[in-house]
Structure 1
Amino acid sequence: MHTIGEVAELLGISAHTLRYYEKEQIIIPLRDAGGDRRYNESHVKWLQFVIKLKETQMPIAVIKKYASLFQEGEHTAPERLKLLENHKRAVEDQMNNLHAANEMLELKIVAYRSFIGK
């Protein structure tokens, strides 16, 4: 079991972020006898997934919806799948846009190098 500070350090996020995720019911940590939050390995893996979703620009409302569906049970698997498929398409669009921007930048860099004789 991990404390909130340990999980925050392990994942490179703040304890404030973990409290926010709890407030939004994205994660529901366990509590010890003193009421302190405790996280097991399953919590850590879930948070790693949440962090990746955030890094790929999934809105917090959609992450919250996914978490809610997961907590409802296995009968929500088709809806969760649809959320992830939609997000995957959005990530692929982001990647295509970044690739196009990178190609444009490369052309500009080549032009400037040619202009200044490098």
Structure 2
Amino acid sequence: MYSIGEVAKMIGVSTHTLRYYEKEKIIIPNRNKTGDRMYEVSHLKWLLFVLKLKETQMPIAKIKQYADLVREGEHTTFERLALLEEHQRSIQDQLENLQSTEKMLQGKITTYKAFLNDQSPSMSKST
């Protein structure tokens, strides 16, 4: 079992973020006898998944919806699958957009480098 501070450090988020996720019922940690939050390895795995969803631009509302469905049980499997497939399509769109942008940037970089090479005196011209 891990404390909130240990978990925050392990996964690279603030304790404030973990408390927010708890408030939103995205995660529900255990409590010890004194009321301190205690996290199991399964909580860590869940949080890492949640962070990946967040990193790939899934809105908190959708993450919360997914967490609610998980807690409801196996009868929500179809809904969870649909939600994840929708997010996967969003990620694919993001990737296509990033690839297109990267090509555009590479073209600009190539243009600037060619311009700078033409402007600077070359060694072969001076010898």
Give the structure-1-normalised TM-score.
0.99
Distance 1:26 1:46 in 2: 9
CA distance in 2, matches of 1:36, 1:51: 23
Deviation at 1:116, TM superposition (A): 1.0
Q: Determine helix, strand or coil for the equivalent of 2:26.
A: coil
- How is 1:79-94 mapped onto 2 (pairs within 5 angstroms)? 79-94=79-94
Helix, strand or coil at the partner of 2:104 = helix
Moved over 3 A (4+): none
**Where does the alignment leave 5 or more consecutive residues of structure 1 unmatched?**
none
Shift of 1:32: 0.0
Aligned to 1:103: 103
What do the CA deviations read for 1:87-111 (whole angstroms, capped 9, x no partner)? Answer: 0000000000000000000000000
Name the CA distance, whole Å, in 1 between partners of 2:47 and 2:108: 40
Rounded Cα–Cα distance in structure 2 between residues aligned with 1:2 and 1:28: 14
Q: State how far apart, in whole Å, the 2-side matches of 1:112 and 1:37 are.
A: 55
TM-score normalised by L of structure 2? 0.92
Structure-1 residue corresponding to 2:55: 55
1:16-95 maps to which residues of 2 (within 5 A)?
A: 16-95=16-95
Which one has a bigger Cα radius of gyration? Answer: 2
Inter-partner Cα distance in structure 1 for 2:28 and 2:104: 45
Question: What is the count of residue pairs matched by the alignment?
Answer: 118
Partner Cα separation in structure 2 for residue 27 and residue 114 of structure 1 = 53
In 2, distance between residues paired with 1:94 and 1:107?
A: 20
- CA-atom RMSD in angstroms: 0.7
Letter in 1 for 2:115: F
